[in-house]
Amino acid sequence: MSAQPELELQAERTSLSKEALKRSFLDNLFYIQGKFPALATRVDYYMALAYTVRDRMLQRWISTAAAYTAKGSRTVAYLSAEFLMGPHLGNNLLSLGIHDEVRQAIGELGLNFDELLAQEDEPGLGNGGLGRLAACYLDSLATLEIPALGYGIRYEFGIFQQEIAEGWQVERTDKWLRYGNPWEIARPEWVQQVKFGGRTEHSLDEHGRRSVRWLPGRIVNGVPYDTPILGYGNNTANTLRLWRAEAPEAFDVSTFNRGDYYGAVQQKITSENLSKILYPNDEQIQGKELRLEQQYFFVACSLQDMLRILKVQGIPLENFHRKFAVQLNDTHPAIAVAELMRLLVDEHGLRWSDAWSITRQTFAYTNHTLLPEALEQWPLALFGRVLPRHLEIVLEINARFLDEARLKFLGDEARIARLSLINEHGERYVRMANLACVGCHAINGVAELHSELLKQDVLRDFHALWPEKFSNKTNGITPRRWLMLANPRLSRLITSWIGPGWTRDLAQLRGLERVVDDPDFCSSWRDVKHSNKVAFARYVQQELGMTLDPHSMFDVLVKRIHEYKRQHLSILHVVALYLRLKDGRDADPVPRTFIYGGKAAPGYRMAKLMIKLINAVSSMINRDPATRERLRVVFVPNFSVRTGQRIYPCADLSEQVSTAGKEASGTGNMKFTLNGALTIGTLDGANIEIRAEVGAENFFLFGLSAAEVAALKAQGYSPAEVCRTQPQLQEVIDLIASGFFARGDSELFRPLLDSLLTHDPYLVLADFAAYADCQRVVAGAYADRDRWTRMSILNVARSGKFSADRAVREYLDDIWGAAPVPVRLISQDDIAGKLLQ
């Protein structure tokens, strides 16, 4: 039997030729969207295009699945409560290498390609750095051809959309799924059940062995939704598997049968709430039951899914840790340690010691914070209510672990109390970082300083116990999205001078050092930055009705709003500049545009007040004719992956001004550097390594070091005293306190000023003078156009280390031990051949 005619049709469906792309696009408009041009909306066109691209991804996805299944290859499972993927369409076009063809094809159909790209609702399933890091690592894993699965939650509502009203942040729900999501495929056939609450029953089985049954109070189904993650320039398409909570049918019906219809409905709603919404806090979430349920939900689904895969591939349970390297992205999935023990011991009858050995060899844990208040703890009572069996397991792990620790730290009960998985001070808590440390074989920080501080401070007792578990893995970012896609002008320029090798081997950017003195190259470099600034100014004009001068220096601070990140340090300095301009005192030689962006956690009052302050300063200063030619301030609403892609390429100066010892790494700092911005920054997180790479002479350093911060605090720090000795700073504070930026309301910013003047926990005032001095040096450097260009080129040339490819390779070599599995494309004939055999 021959299937030839169908096969030809199939090939047409995945052809990359422009004509085929156009035909598919129109086909999809008719057959998927059910529209013809006169009625089609821009969203219809976007969808038609998305499905056109998806068809072309599926052959790789299927081929990849086939290659991995055939090989039974070692697989990285990246467990993360957040994946901040950003818009898919542009990135997928880039990975497929058809960006330009598709742009042309769409243009020839009389449509505007950029307008279609803009229709995509970006999946904002993360808060900030941590979620975005997970997305960058998936990109690199696929590009390096490593078998990998990202496991997380398919939140129905992602991070809120930020609007600014009267200068205040207003949150709007993120309805990213409202028109459907063309990039995912639901796999209801791989549904998993997750138990919650209830109680446990202990008994002896027929062999006299203890066995435990968990009788849950309720069960929730997890349905996986898979999204393909393409490698760049290869045939790999890995999977991001996100779980959606659903009420199990059978459970509803049983309640229904008992006549409790409303109860059944209620139960359905409660179950489905689990994956409704992402918690929008970027550092701390205290004791929210639903949050713990979310964590357990996706972890339980993911581990059971791994067991399913093991079974399909005929791999014995004892080899779990050989098949899977499971990375815990912070402690949000740390309950996995107890859950894997439960699955192995309770459900598969392994001995505790064997299960423990498998568990420890399976997991590795990445810490992302140095803020002590951000370390997750769950009230023991709540933990036991939601996960009664896991509490027993945690207590058992703890008892055995502390016995072992006591042998090492004879008589040091204070240390034992710090190591314990249970915090016994006052109300009892389960400490998730301790659970992660005990249940894994590798622990890492995300920048050198951070990893050192973990060893000395946050996790020092674990380091004393198991120094060999600790390592550093400095974060990285994907150059595909953050340079090629975000900054096509710079990418083209770089490629035209050093070739395209840098896209997969970022260290090759070093080649730019050879041409740093070429006047043509330097002038093109400047032109690119200028064009990016013009494009951004146009965007701001359109969106905010504000005019920016692309000849001014673009000084940018975008990231989550937090006191430790010190947006207020920067804005105080803007006010100082304003005062200097007004008085005609030594004005800066260059006009500046300060660009801010970032979301505040909805419940974080101080952060919201910081946004209000930035906007208040912006609206007063921008309208002052005496200064508006030299100083402008803009707050770009709704900072996201998409807006980031516009902002990083247009920056001249990147502000990385956190209090030293507080920012674990930062990754925005890397995005700016890669796009040719120079950094003004403290010795914090990865700034230190950026400075070491690009050279101290190409980096604007200021402020106290982490050690100095600690010393100053120990010695007793008085912010009011700092103010008294610095008249310029006092003037700034006085102007804000006067109500000048608040239509005369002298109360509005009082909480912020009071905090600075009485505690100043993040040493804003202590670092102010150094920051202002350093900004003066920056202005001088910018005034020397050629010198600045040279510094900008050298920053990019030396930023290769910050590729996520490098970071992922380090994880592979030191922790995951997985190897590339190149994928051979299976043709339609192969598949049809199998079917028709």
Contact residues toward ligand F58 (CB under 6 A) are 82, 127-130, 133, 281-283, 285, 368-369, 446, 475, 663-667, 685
568 has catalytic annotation: no
Q: What is d(CA 140, CA 808) in angstroms, rounded to the nearest whole number?
A: 7
Residues 6+ apart with CB under 8 A from 648: 482, 486, 487, 668, 671, 672, 674, 675, 677
Which CB, 479 or 685, lies closer to ligand F58? 685
Q: Where are the alpha helices (DSSP H) in 87-149?
A: 89-96, 99-108, 113-117, 129-143
| SS3 category, 248 | coil
Which CB, 53 or 706, lies closer to ligand F58? 706
Question: Which residue in the list 565, 599, 608, 662 is annotated as catalytic?
Answer: 565
Measured from the CB of residue 774, what is the shortest distance to ligand F58 in angstroms? 21
Question: Which residue in the list 560, 562, 568, 798 is annotated as catalytic?
Answer: 560
400 has catalytic annotation: no
Question: Which residue's CB atom is positioned nearest to ligand F58?
Answer: 129
Measured from the CB of residue 765, what is the shortest distance to ligand F58 in angstroms? 23
Residues 6+ apart with CB under 8 A from 588: 577, 580, 630, 776, 779
Amino acid, single-letter form, for residue 783: A
Q: What is d(CA 789, CA 177) in angstroms, rounded to the nearest whole number?
A: 43
560 has catalytic annotation: yes
Residue 375 tokens read as 């370390």
**Sequential DSSP letters for 169-182:** EEEE---TTTT--T
**Sequential DSSP letters for 353-400:** HHHHHHHHHHEEEE-----GGGS-EEEHHHHHHH-HHHHHHHHHHHHH
Residues 6+ apart with CB under 8 A from 288: 279
Question: How many helices and strands in the chain, by DSSP H and E?
Answer: 35, 23
Which CB, 74 or 559, lies closer to ligand F58? 559
Question: Which residue in the list 241, 450, 480, 671 is annotated as catalytic?
Answer: 671
Measured from the CB of residue 535, what is the shortest distance to ligand F58 in angstroms? 27
Question: What b/e readout covers 103-129, taking b as 16+ CB neighbours within 10 angstroms?
Answer: bebbeebebebeebbebbbbbbbbbbb
Which CB, 279 or 749, lies closer to ligand F58? 279
Per DSSP, 75 falls in state E
Q: What is d(CA 327, CA 302) in angstroms, rounded to the nearest whole number?
A: 12
Measured from the CB of residue 336, what is the shortest distance to ligand F58 in angstroms? 16
Q: Where are the alpha helices (DSSP H) in 387-516?
A: 388-408, 413-419, 432-438, 448-453, 460-465, 479, 488-498
Measured from the CB of residue 564, what is the shortest distance to ligand F58 in angstroms? 9
Give the CA diameter of the chain. 92
Which CB, 133 or 548, lies closer to ligand F58? 133
Measured from the CB of residue 367, what is the shortest distance to ligand F58 in angstroms? 9
667 has catalytic annotation: yes
368 has catalytic annotation: yes
Pairing relation of β-strands 324-329 and 75-79? parallel
559 has catalytic annotation: yes
From the list 449, 474, 451, the residue with the least C-alpha distance to 688 is 449
CB of 485 closer than 8 Å to CB of 91: yes
Residue 753 tokens read as 């000023």
Measured from the CB of residue 263, what is the shortest distance to ligand F58 in angstroms? 33
Which CB, 60 or 368, lies closer to ligand F58? 368
Q: What is d(CA 282, CA 266) in angstroms, rounded to the nearest whole number?
A: 31
Measured from the CB of residue 386, what is the shortest distance to ligand F58 in angstroms? 18
Measured from the CB of residue 277, what is the shortest distance to ligand F58 in angstroms? 13
Quote the distance between the C-alpha of residue 60 and its chain's center. Answer: 26
Question: Which residue in the list 478, 503, 659, 667 is annotated as catalytic?
Answer: 667
Quote the distance between the C-alpha of residue 717 and its chain's center. Answer: 34
Which CB, 672 or 782, lies closer to ligand F58? 672
Which CB, 228 or 666, lies closer to ligand F58? 666
Measured from the CB of residue 329, what is the shortest distance to ligand F58 in angstroms? 9
Measured from the CB of residue 690, what is the shortest distance to ligand F58 in angstroms? 12
CB of 1 closer than 8 Å to CB of 836: yes
Sign of CA pseudo-dihedral 137, 138, 140, 141: positive
Q: What is d(CA 141, CA 148) in angstroms, rounded to the nearest whole number?
A: 7
Which CB, 143 or 367, lies closer to ligand F58? 367
Which CB, 285 or 606, lies closer to ligand F58? 285
Question: Which residue in the list 56, 321, 368, 562 is annotated as catalytic?
Answer: 368
**Sequential DSSP letters for 314-326:** T--GGGHHHHEEE
Q: What is d(CA 587, CA 581) in angstroms, rounded to the nearest whole number?
A: 6
Which CB, 241 or 368, lies closer to ligand F58? 368
Q: What is d(CA 663, CA 687) in angstroms, rounded to the nearest whole number?
A: 10
Residues annotated as catalytic (active site), given as ranges:
368, 559-560, 565, 667, 671
